[in-house]
Amino acid sequence: MRLFSFLICFLVVLAPIAGRAQTVPPGATEPKAEDLGTLPEAPAEDEPKARAAEEPPLETLYRQLAGSGDEAEARRIARSIQILWLKSGSDTVDLLMERAAQALKADNYPLALDLLDTVVTLKPAYAEGWNRRATVYYMRQDFGRSLADIERVLALEPRHWGALSGLGIIQRQLDQDQRALATFRKVLEVYPLLDSARKAVEELEKDLAGEPT
Domain residue spans in the chain?
89-157
- Render each residue's pLDDT in the chain as its tens digit; 213 residues: 433 333 334 333 333 333 334 444 434 455 554 454 444 554 545 454 445 455 679 999 999 999 999 999 999 999 999 999 999 999 999 999 999 999 999 999 999 999 999 999 999 999 999 999 999 999 999 999 999 999 999 999 999 999 999 999 999 999 999 999 999 999 999 999 999 999 999 999 999 998 655
Burial 83-117 (b: 16+ CB within 10 A, else e): bbbbebeeeebeebbebbbebbeeeebebbbebbe
Q: What angle do CA 195, 197, 200 make, to 5 degrees?
A: 110
**Rg (Cα) of the chain, in Å, rounded?**
17
pTM of the entire predicted model: 0.76
Give the Cα separation of 44 and 23 in Å (integer).
36
Among 34, 55, 47, 59, residue whose Cα is nearest residue 195: 34
Among 136, 139, 43, residue whose Cα is nearest residue 82: 43
- Cβ count near 157 (within 10 Å): 19
Give the Cα separation of 132 and 130 in Å (integer).
5
- To the nearest 10 degrees (0 to 180), the angle between helices 161-173 and 177-190 is 160
- DSSP H stretches of helix in 106-193: 109-122, 127-139, 143-156, 161-173, 177-190
CATH value of 89-157 in 3.20.20.150, 3.40.710.10, 1.25.40.10, 3.60.21.10: 1.25.40.10
Give the Cα separation of 187 and 176 in Å (integer).
17
